[in-house]
């Protein structure tokens, strides 16, 4: 099986039409679906949270068949993800896309489990600690994108599971759990 | 009731088959032909009356309830044409054209070409036939043309000059062929060199006069057109024979290229173009039928489908002088729906319009494309419109239309790259998004994988980026 780093590529990755935006509706629906799944899978395994359209993205090029997705195609597939709620545009110009291979709600659940597993029910932590502290090593929270983390925390705050407050330094915010 | 008139031959599109040198002159619609003695002979009701240089042809209209066949009256059998009388009655009636026709002993129209031979047995009796014009045609104009054609007696010159012109060689063909140009004017015969010189002089003078007459009067030009062509031909031959010696080699060449030219003209030519003038309001109808007849051969050559623009160019080239506008062409093609012709106009999604045989089947073309695109080489690199054109034997523009149509039906997928615009067999339907890595054992995906892995995909040294690991691009299962 062909690989991109550690990531196993499906056989149709070498099918040249896969890299051309198909005009016929039925065909293009299938194509979009396949790209959506592929992007999510790849990002989850490689822990990629943001795709920048103007930069090179390994998944969007195939040197074996010498094909690259056009800007239009990239935008089309990412917009499809956004429409499904699995991604968000970070800017109006649609140059940067946040990939939610876990939805925000799922991240929230992961945080809650993390808190419970480590007995942090009443503790205080900084946001940074959640994503890069010792406890988070080996968990999904390790290296999580800050924007996503904050969104998940805000969701939990809304549900009353925690409280976010500004820290002493302007750098970091703190979280008080009350799970 | 038997048929008074002679039968006329008709093509599959309903156009009359013309005799050699016969040219259409005028046309009237919704005409009844009534022989005087219509107790014994049937009348022909509401048809198309076509005047040619040789005959009056009557075609049944397609809405006729009883199938009547096309009929004709040779102009040679007409003994008199009555002038139209304007009376009080004629204001209320449909206009009528009356003429007298010679009849044979059976009481039917005398057909001079039917080999009745002896002059004594020919029409001693004549019968009056009335043509009642119920349509909106130009009756007076038709009558004028009728007189002209009848008086011109074109069928007689055909008979005398038929064998003469084809085998004419350069020298000594100045007399005895083609009607009026070289007919003697009764001048005193001269002998010797003076005689030859003066004959030449006469000839040039008459040619000159001819040219002057022809160009001054366009009507006259029309009738002289044929003579102009013959004249040009003779001049060319004279030039050729004048410069070359009497070797058989050059003669063969002459004959060869002449034959070539004739063949070419025949394959491309239509002797009687249907013009707005001669057909009036029915212009598009007749044009439509003529086009249907004409387009048959180019269609065959092009494999059953031809671009409308190509057909337009070919048709106009054949018509030579009476060119039609693109609008006329479109009109003519759209009228095909109303007639029972074997061709149709078709518009593709991309806007390209083609003429195709009604019997043409898209399915059959798709089957051929499918077999082409599933060959191992095509599985690896796809097919281009040019490849398809060559394999299917059709024009590249047509091939592209077929490929696009096949794509829209889900048979193919496009691949746009610096290599160009190519098509592959559509694999997407077989891929399951919930189970992307699974490949069925039998199916197009599996065939495709086998095809691309037997020779391997193109290898390219990958420049490593972002520590994603080198890959050699080979597919291992």
Helix (H), strand (E), coil (C) string for B107-166: CCECCHHHCCCCCCCCCCEEEEEEEEECCCCCHHHHHHHHHHHHHHCHHHHHHHHCCCCC
pLDDT (mean) for B451-476:
44
B13 vs A3: CA distance, rounded Å: 65
Asked if B468 and A4 come within 8 Å (Cβ–Cβ), the reply is: yes
Task: Single out the residue of B254, B253, B211, B210 nearest to residue B236, CA to CA.
Answer: B254
pLDDT given at position A79: 93
Instruction: Collect all residues of chain B within an 8 Å Cβ-Cβ radius of residue A32.
Output: none
- Cα angle A7, A8, A12 (rounded to 5 degrees) comes to 130
- Partner-chain residue, chosen from A2, A17, A67, that has the shortest CB–CB distance to B414: A17
Instruction: For domain A104-177, give the fold.
Output: Arc Repressor Mutant, subunit A (1.10.10)
pLDDT (mean) for B405-431:
90
- Partner-chain residue, chosen from A4, A5, A20, that has the shortest CB–CB distance to B416: A20
Cα B265 to Cα A168, B246, B258: the distances in Å are: 100, 28, 10
Task: Give B112's pLDDT tier (boundaries 50, 70, 90).
Answer: low
The SS3 of residue B353 is strand
Helix (H) or strand (E) holding B102: strand B96-103
pLDDT given at position A1: 58
Task: Give B235's pLDDT tier (boundaries 50, 70, 90).
Answer: low
Residue of chain B whose Cα is closest to the Cα of A41: B436
Q: Residue written as tokens 């520590």?
A: B467
- Partner-chain residue, chosen from B414, B469, B477, that has the shortest CB–CB distance to A5: B469
Domains annotated for chain B, with CATH where assigned, are 6-112+124-152 (2.30.29.30), 279-357 (1.10.10.10), 362-454 (1.10.10.10)
pLDDT (mean) for A45-74:
90
pLDDT given at position A74: 92
Mutate to test the interface with B, among A10, A30, A37 (most CBs of B within 10 A): A30
A173 vs A150: CA distance, rounded Å: 10
A161 vs A114: CA distance, rounded Å: 13
User: A3-99: which CATH number, 3.40.50.11900, 3.40.50.450, 1.10.10.570, 3.90.230.10?
Assistant: 1.10.10.570
Distance (Å) from the alpha carbon of B330 to chain A's nearest alpha carbon: 30
User: What is the Cα Rg of chain B in Å?
Assistant: 33
Q: Are A171 and A126 in contact (CB under 8 A)?
A: no
Asked if A2 and B436 come within 8 Å (Cβ–Cβ), the reply is: no
Largest CA distance in chain A: 57
Higher pLDDT residue, B136 or B307?
A: B307
Chain A residues contacting B via beta carbons under 8 Å? 1-6, 8, 10-12, 14-17, 19-20, 22-24, 26-27, 30-31, 33-34, 36-38, 56, 58, 63-67
What token pair was written down for B50? 């076509």
Instruction: Examine domains A3-99 and A104-177 and report if their fold is the same.
Output: yes
Domain boundaries, chain A: 3-99, 104-177
When the pLDDT of each residue in chain B is averaged and rounded to a whole number, the result is 74
What token pair was written down for A77? 């597939």
pLDDT tens figures, B292-302: 999 988 888 88
What token pair was written down for A52? 């920048």
Asked if A10 and B436 come within 8 Å (Cβ–Cβ), the reply is: yes
Name which of B186-190, B354-358, B403-407 the model is least confident about. Answer: B186-190
> Is the minimum CB–CB distance between B431 and chain A shorter than 8 Å?
yes
Residues 6+ away with beta carbon under 8 Å from B408? A24, B349
Residues 6+ away with beta carbon under 8 Å from B219? none
Q: Is the pLDDT of residue A119 over 70?
A: yes
Distance (Å) from the alpha carbon of B476 to chain A's nearest alpha carbon: 5
Q: Is the pLDDT of residue B199 over 70?
A: yes
The SS3 of residue A88 is strand
pLDDT (mean) for B429-451:
83
Task: Give B469's pLDDT tier (boundaries 50, 70, 90).
Answer: very low
Q: Which among A1-15, A66-80, A164-178, B122-136 has the top mean pLDDT?
A: A66-80
């Amino acid at each position: 099986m062909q690989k991109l780093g550690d990531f196993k590529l499906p056989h149709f990755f070498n099918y040249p039409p896969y890299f051309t935006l198909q005009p016929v509706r039925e065909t293009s629906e299938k194509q979009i679906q396949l790209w959506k799944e592929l992007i999510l899978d790849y990002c989850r395994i490689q822990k990629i949270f943001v795709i920048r359209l103007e930069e090179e993205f390994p998944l969007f090029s195939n040197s074996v068949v010498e094909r690259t997705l056009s800007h239009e195609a990239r935008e089309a597939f990412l917009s499809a993800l956004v429409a499904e709620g699995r991604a968000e545009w970070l800017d109006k110009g649609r140059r940067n896309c946040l990939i939610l291979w876990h939805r925000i709600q799922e991240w929230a659940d992961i945080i809650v489990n993390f808190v419970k597993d480590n007995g942090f029910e009443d503790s205080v932590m900084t946001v940074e600690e959640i994503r890069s502290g010792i406890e988070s090593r080996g968990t999904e929270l390790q290296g999580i994108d800050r924007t996503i983390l904050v969104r998940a925390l805000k969701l939990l705050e809304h549900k009353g599971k925690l409280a976010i407050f500004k820290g002493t330094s302007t750098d970091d915010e703190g979280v008080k759990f009350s799970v | 009731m038997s048929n008074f008139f002679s039968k006329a031959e008709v093509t599959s599109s309903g156009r009359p088959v013309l005799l050699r040198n016969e040219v259409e002159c005028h046309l009237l619609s919704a005409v009844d032909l009534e022989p005087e003695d219509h107790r014994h002979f049937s009348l022909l009701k509401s048809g198309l009356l076509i005047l040619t240089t040789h005959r009056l042809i009557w075609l049944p209209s397609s809405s006729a309830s009883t199938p009547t066949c096309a009929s004709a009256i040779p102009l040679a059998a007409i003994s008199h044409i009555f002038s139209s009388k304007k009376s009080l009655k004629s204001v209320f009636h449909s206009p009528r054209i009356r003429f007298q026709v010679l009849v044979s002993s059976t009481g039917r129209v005398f057909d001079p070409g039917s080999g009745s031979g002896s002059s004594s047995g020919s029409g001693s009796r004549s019968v009056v036939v009335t043509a009642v014009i119920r349509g909106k045609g130009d009756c007076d104009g038709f009558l004028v043309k009728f007189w002209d054609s009848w008086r011109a007696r074109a069928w007689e010159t055909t008979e005398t000059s038929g064998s003469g012109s084809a085998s004419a060689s350069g020298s000594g063909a100045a007399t005895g062929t083609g009607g009026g140009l070289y007919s003697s004017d009764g001048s005193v015969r001269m002998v010797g060199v003076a005689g030859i010189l003066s004959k030449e002089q006469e000839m040039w003078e008459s040619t000159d006069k001819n040219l002057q007459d022809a160009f001054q009067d366009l009507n006259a030009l029309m009738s002289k057109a044929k003579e102009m062509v013959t004249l040009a031909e003779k001049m060319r031959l004279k030039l050729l024979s004048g410069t070359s010696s009497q070797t058989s080699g050059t003669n063969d060449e002459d004959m060869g290229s002449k034959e070539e030219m004739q063949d070419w003209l025949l394959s491309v030519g239509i002797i009687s173009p249907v013009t707005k003038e001669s057909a009036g309001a029915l212009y598009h109808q007749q044009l439509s039928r003529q086009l249907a007849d004409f387009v048959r051969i180019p269609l065959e050559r092009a494999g059953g489908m031809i671009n409308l623009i190509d057909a337009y160019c070919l048709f106009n080239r054949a018509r030579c002088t009476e060119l039609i506008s693109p609008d006329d062409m479109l009109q003519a093609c759209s009228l095909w729906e109303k007639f029972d012709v074997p061709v149709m106009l078709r518009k593709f999604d991309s806007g390209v319009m083609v003429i195709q045989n009604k019997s043409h089947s898209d399915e059959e073309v798709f089957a051929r494309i499918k077999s082409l695109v599933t060959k191992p080489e095509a599985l690896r690199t796809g097919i281009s419109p040019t490849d398809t054109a060559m394999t299917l034997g059709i024009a590249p523009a047509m091939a592209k239309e077929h490929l696009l149509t096949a794509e829209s039906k889900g048979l193919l997928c496009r691949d746009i790259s610096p290599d160009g615009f190519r098509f592959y067999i559509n694999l997407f339907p077989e891929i399951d998004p919930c189970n992307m890595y699974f490949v069925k054992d039998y199916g197009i995906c599996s065939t495709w994988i086998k095809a691309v892995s037997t020779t391997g995909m193109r290898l390219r040294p990958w420049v490593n980026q972002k520590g994603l690991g080198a890959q050699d691009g080979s597919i291992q299962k």
